[in-house]
Structure 1
Amino acid sequence: MRSLPARRLAAVALTAAASVVALAGPAFAHVTVNPGSAAQGGYTAVDFRVPNENDTASTVKLEVNLPMDHPLASVRTLPLPGWTANVEKSKLDKPIKVHGSDVTEAVSKITWTADAGTKIAPGQFQEFRVSLGPLPTDADSMAFKALQTYDNGDVVRWIDEAQAGQPEPAHPTPILKLTKAAGGDDHGVTASASPAAGTHGDSSDHAAAAAGDTKSSDSTARTLGVVGIVVGVIGTAVGVLGLRRKSGGSTS
């Protein structure tokens, strides 16, 4: 009879652990932009992180639509072995000024297609890196609507924008938040904008990539932290259960 409370304690601990995992899981289940923020007016490199959420099919194509209400004059993809990137441009209704020159077209869509033998299998994810800019100075975020295609023909449309005060949609669109540039003026923007003119793009992209790697490390640390909590809860429950059984055995 003395073992009943211990069993209940173990059951509660396991339920709590499962709840922690359930709450942590969805944060890593959507197509996202990483890092999730960048400075207005500057250039950055981001990863479109694509997890495979299908247990029986593999992802073979990703389409990312760039916002044309804030067109980006410079968009470059980083070569990814096993994937072919196709960049589409569209004419702008109104030219934009970049470094004193008129830009009449901008990238409106990027499509990555898996080569033969390449795929994002169940339980895996892939990151697709893009350098882009200059980011708008009159917006606080940019939405990159995405379509994820599986080899069984299924297409998941990550195009739903979250609304204030409402639950997160089932398929939220990837969002890049834009923050005020350091110093509050355009001097830093001009300096960081120079690489996009085609002279020194590598240094800017590497700096942004380093920032992205830091964000990725933070996400990994948070994941390991959650796992540690789960293991600790289960270990405590098992230890208590063992002590209860030992105590019960010694009195009988």
Structure 2
Amino acid sequence: MTAPAPAPDPAPGPVPGYAFDNDSVHAAEQHGCLAAAYDPATTARLERTGVGPGWRCLEVGAGQGSVAAWLARRVAPSGRVVATDIKPGRIPAVPGLVVLRHDIVRDPVPEGAYDLVHARLVLSHLPERRAVLARLLRSLRPGGWLQVDEFDAAHHAALLPADPAARDLYTRFQRAKADVLRAAGGDPEWGRHAAADMCDAGFTEVDPLPRVELWDAGSAGARLQAHHTRHLRDRLVAVGMTDEELARVRLLLADPAFRASSCVFYTVQGRRPAA
């Protein structure tokens, strides 16, 4: 009897438990929107740590590496930045930047190795986020800095147009996206809890800074929302949205009259105790 042929290897898919896939055809657009919308706020806050030549830095979940590259330029010529991601293929080659494939939940992290650790929109996706905070505390030298940048996506409101049906559709879309992130193990509202969790993990001088802005049709934030209708399409449909509704969301976001309050973007800093 002829043995059955082995089953083919499964096609590559998204990282289990993570709603966004760095190998997706949509990933470059996602990272571009994030960089345009949030790099200025992220780097302005990082600059306040005093990061400069000779510092050793860790960028967790670096994505396409825009912040890691900024850090590498800041610490040159004598410093070093380690940029990690589960799928690090989009991080560019930059002098002073070391790229590692790394899972911050499971893979080893050197202790007392870094002056600064940064993670943007990473920990909210991890059910183990509090344990990761403890690991990041130990990775810092005494007095070293951690900065986490996270959303509180509970805050979202379509302000214009005045059409109630359009506002209701936008609210449904935001709620469906939150359901998708929760189903993947994330907490889309964790930004508001990040400071308290950092205190519980042992960080000192914890300082949260919230940022809210206006989104209109030309903003990077609105482009990011439209991107989510494509990148998360299968997951959004699975929680009840239709392709016709997602198309209407994109039209709404492109309407010159569209105005919405952004979700809250928190940059939270804290330090490992010096003693």
Q: Quick one: higher RCO (CA 8 Å, sep 6+), 1 or 2?
A: 1
Structure 1-normalised TM-score?
0.22
Higher relative helix content: 2
Higher relative strand content: 1
